[in-house]
Amino acid sequence: MIPFDFQPRTRIVFGADKIDELGRLAFDLGARRALVVSDAGVIETGHTQRGLDALQDAGLDTAVFQDFRENPTTEDVERGAELAVGWEPDLLVGLGGGSSLDCAKGINFVYSNGGRMQDYWGVDKAALPMLPMIAVPTTAGTGSETQSFALISDAETHVKMACGDKKAACRIALLDPQLTVTQPRRVTALTGIDALAHTLETQVTKPRNLISQTFSREAWRLLAANFVAVLDDAENLEARCGMQLGACFAGLAIENSMLGAAHALANPLTAAYNIVHGEAVALMLPHVIRFNGVTAAARYEELLRETAAMAGGPSGATGFAEAGFAGAGVEGLARFIERVREHAGLAGRLAECGVERDRLPKLAEEAAKQWTGTFNPRDLTSADWLQLYEQAW
């Protein structure tokens, strides 16, 4: 029995049209001036304006920061912090996908504690209190709304830094599944496969515990049952609900158990080749499942049983049992991920993404340096990192 210390820090508010309650929730936190961090694509959909209207109707003054990239960098955070210095907010709102939420957290670190984002790489580096934050995710993927980490890339080295502090956890995660309906299919695919990876990694990591595994299993049940449904029918609100809750629960699992080798392998691909995070994770995940299956088969099979039981349900879980995956053990789980990856239209080989074979040893060196790899259930040698890339090439 693995010891744990579970302290929920984020209130979760879920339901259709809940974004209209953003102003009341912010006001109840004592806020009067909000800085809203939201990307251009979300602003174009009108979701940001709807959030601003709710805040303003509750009497809050608002400003918007949108000058950041898909993978927010230290430079993006610096620009946001400069805006915050002039605006002097008492609340931050991240309204958008994982990039918006991460950037908002990054701004909170620098604005509240000074210095540079690099100063907070690691855990518990913030000495001073941080502003309260409300997360309003418009995608179902990262689960950042229930995590105390900001993932920020160093603008010079391109290394993705995990900056964590319990003070950075959002006070409120406002989940409105209607906001996810406007996602393009590719965004739904990329974020959904990332969320699935979160469930599979948190289920087996070394720090896993009964709390994290509870969230992992429920997240898997929701995500595996609904992922293909939202790809095939963007307007399926019930499936969107399942995906958003599943991603949120997977975020709670990460907060209590961390991630593993699939994310360690994905980060260098994003840094070196600008492969979108979800696609990079999807490329590596089946190979990591097979590698980990040597020692983690029993824990993977808990999820296999969940998926097999769902196969006759309303969403069908992509015909999991009918396709013969349920009885195929770890290999069946890896093939299931390959199947949904293909259905999502994501790349199946590194070579398809322009990765040169002679660069694999350098990528393996970088993967071995990633923090998440230390939590993988099976330790990896330098040869193992390279072999996993070669299998995916």
pLDDT given at position 144: 94
Least confident of 7-21, 242-256, 322-336: 322-336
Catalogue the long-range contacts made by 83-89 (C-beta closer than 8 Å, 24 or more residues apart). Answer: 83/35, 84/35, 84/111, 85/111, 87/33, 87/35, 87/63, 88/33, 89/31, 89/33, 89/34, 89/35, 89/63, 89/131
Per-residue model confidence as pLDDT tens digits over 150-200: 999 999 988 889 999 999 999 999 999 999 999 999 999 999 999 999 999
Is residue 320 pLDDT above 50, yes or no? no
Indicate if the pLDDT at residue 279 is higher than 90.
yes
Q: Is the pLDDT of residue 283 over 90?
A: yes
CA distance 380 to 248: 29
Instruction: Label the pairing between strands 160-164 and 133-137.
Output: unpaired
Backbone angles phi, psi at 35, to 5 degrees: -105, 120
Mean pLDDT of 296-311: 79
The candidate with the shortest Cα–Cα distance to 190, out of 103, 283, 260, 100, is 283
Work out the average pLDDT over 65-77: 93
Closest CA to 11 of 170, 249, 216: 170
Contact 227, 175 (CB under 8 A): no
Helix (H, G, I), strand (E, B) or coil at 155: coil
How far apart CA 204 and CA 260 sit, in angstroms, is 8
- The answer for 124, left when phi > 0, alpha when psi is -120 to 50, beta otherwise, is left
Higher pLDDT, 3 or 330: 330
pLDDT for 75 equals 96
pLDDT at residue 312 is higher than 70: no
Is residue 326 over pLDDT 80?
Answer: no
Residue 369 in this model has a pLDDT that exceeds 80: yes
With residue 88 as reference, give the H or E element that holds it.
Answer: none
Write down the pTM of the prediction.
Answer: 0.93
pLDDT at 315 over 70: no
pLDDT tops 60 at residue 318? no
Residue 173's SS3 state is strand
Three-point CA angle 147, 211, 203, nearest 5°: 80
Q: Token digits for 117?
A: 């984002």
Q: Is the pLDDT of residue 247 over 90?
A: yes
Give 310's pLDDT tier (boundaries 50, 70, 90): low
Edge-first strand listing for the sheet containing 33-37: 11-14, 172-175, 133-137, 91-96, 33-37, 61-65
- The DSSP call for residue 159 is P
Predicted confidence band at 314 (pLDDT cuts at 50, 70, 90)?
very low
Confidence class for position 64, pLDDT limits 50, 70, 90: very high
pLDDT digits (tens, 9 = 90+) for 119-147: 999 999 999 999 999 999 999 989 999 99
- Percent of the chain at pLDDT exceeding 70: 94
State residue 309's pLDDT score.
60
Which residue in 225, 229, 235, 261 sits closest to 183, CA to CA? 235
Residue environment code for 247-264, b if the CB has 16+ CB neighbours within 10 A, otherwise e: bbbbbbbbbbbbbbbbbb
| Region of residue 96 (left: phi > 0; alpha: psi -120 to 50; beta: else) | left
Instruction: Please give the pLDDT value at position 304.
Output: 82
Q: In what order do the strands lie in the sheet with 149-153?
A: 122-123, 160-164, 149-153
Please determine, for residue 1, whether its predicted confidence score (pLDDT) is greater than 90.
no
**Coil, helix or strand at residue 164:** strand
| pLDDT computed for residue 325 by the predictor | 54
Lowest mean pLDDT among 33-47, 76-90, 296-310, 337-351: 296-310
Identity of the residue numbered 80: G
**pLDDT of 288 above 70:** yes
* Residue-level pLDDT at 15: 95
pLDDT at residue 50 tops 90: yes
Residue 322 has pLDDT above 50, yes or no: no
Confidence class for position 65, pLDDT limits 50, 70, 90: very high
* 10 to 1, 13, 143, 147, 336: CA distances (angstroms): 26, 10, 12, 9, 32
- Average pLDDT value over all residues in the chain: 92
